[in-house]
Structure 1
Amino acid sequence: MPIRHSMDASTRASAGLAALIEKLVNDPDREPPESLGEVRELLRAKSRDRQTEFLHPQDRESLLVELDGLIEELGEEAASYELVGAKAGEALSRVIEAAMDDTALPEEPTLGAVREAMLGGLAARLVGDGAIDEDDDAALLAEIDELIRRFGANAPAEPFVRFE
């Protein structure tokens, strides 16, 4: 399982690298890469010009060089989706926070576990508590389904919480 970092990793990657990772994560023909190491292997496999792997570190135009720097800083097992910068909306963030506080769920719930909890009554409880709007229920399921489609059901839910 990829290691999570306390800093906002999405601010560490260039727009080009974040877009490439998002494209890999959203590719319906493959399993999304979970770690930076997996992204690097996919980039190496796709690279026609293998010399780009050996560019001088000052050449920030190379995605492989940038990725190598991030791997050196964050580790090969750092979660690739954290570089994309996707965040849940305000209401879904409340649901995820409630799931994280729910003793019936794992200490660090995944997106899939949050979805199951929503279907199992968590969303209804939050509506009853006034934490989320009743009209948001269908939209919340669509939003978490989209996050699951993009990042996988096993992705930890906490990095997607929007703090505002």
Structure 2
Amino acid sequence: MIRNPIDVSTRVSPNLSALIENRLNMVEPDEYVTLALVRDYLTDMLSAAFTETEHIHHFDINDSLLDELDALIEEFGETALANDFVQNSASEPMTRVIEAVINSRDQDNPPTLETIREAIAMGLPARLVGDGVLDEDEDDALLEEIEALIDRHGDDALAEEFLRYE
């Protein structure tokens, strides 16, 4: 299996990334999970046998995830390794939010993902747009992204671990 030479995880929505990560967590460490296997997993979840309770318990499963996954398969192939598509770092706009929170706090108390969520809820993105740190369209998805990071890593995970350095 050939690994992708570019960071393709930046092209995956937080929900699809979380779904892929969940599928990866179901296999042995030496097993390879491809996009085709993730597609089978997702179509099984979308099947009529999948109960409403399970929908609520897992992810916001819908056909748009399948469309997104199909587009990835079309571009990268069915045999592309699924772990390449899991987001393990914040987006560039989220990185700027995390850096703003880090720079505004004392070093002895590093911010957690929950701290970042609170800062977003209190209007930090709007201030950063006003300061020119974020573009107006970059603040729209920040709450969804931080929620996805918290769902996967917990609210007490250190925010600095998700900084994207490019």
Q: Smaller-chain TM-score range?
A: 0.3 to 0.5
Alignment TM-score, normalising by the size of structure 2:
0.47
